[in-house]
Structure 1
Amino acid sequence: MERLLTVAQVAERLGTGVRFARRLIEERRIRYVKVGRHVRIPESAVRDYLAAHTVEPVRLRRAGLRRAA
């Protein structure tokens, strides 16, 4: 079975405050599990969220290297 994280643990892993983690849950931008009154987030949901929101750097060409004909 997969490990379920508390909202505070998710916020710590994301490097944000608890308020942001709760907003992700409220806006249903991350998967979560309700256990009675408690909310738990699967570790894979945090990994998926980070992967989906990771921006890779763009490699730019230098414009000054072209020669005029």
Structure 2
Amino acid sequence: MNESHEPLLDRKTAAKYLSVSPGTLAVWDCTKRYDLKPIKVGRAVRYRRSDLDKFIEQRLWR
């Protein structure tokens, strides 16, 4: 899917998708622990599902 037309997830939805709390996701963004490539839209933070999928893929045990 073209990234420019990909729907953006809010922090609560992104956290649920990753099975973490929204607070954990906020800490990860603030401390830059993981590069989830958050997008700031005004004061809101949004995430591309494709970036979250890449994050999950990189952490799978093989």
- For Structure 1 versus Structure 2, the TM-score category normalised by the shorter chain is 0.7 to 0.9
Report the TM-score when normalising by structure 2: 0.79
Structure 1 residue 6, shift from structure 2 partner = 0.6
Q: Post-superposition, which runs of at least 4 consecutive aligned residues in structure 1 deviate over 2 A?
A: none
Greater radius of gyration (CA): 1
Separation of aligned partners in 1, 2:17 and 2:42 = 24
Q: Do residues 8 (structure 1) and 12 (structure 2) align?
A: yes
CA RMSD of aligned residues (A): 1.1
Separation of aligned partners in 1, 2:51 and 2:31 = 14
Query: Relative contact order (alpha carbons < 8 A, sep ≥ 6): 1 or 2 greater?
Result: 2
Structure 1 stretches of 5 or more lacking a match? Answer: 57-69
- Aligned residues with identical type, % of pairs: 21
Q: Do residues 21 (structure 1) and 14 (structure 2) align?
A: no
More helix by share: 2
Separation of aligned partners in 1, 2:24 and 2:12 = 10
- SS at 1:31's partner residue? coil
Report the TM-score when normalising by structure 1: 0.72
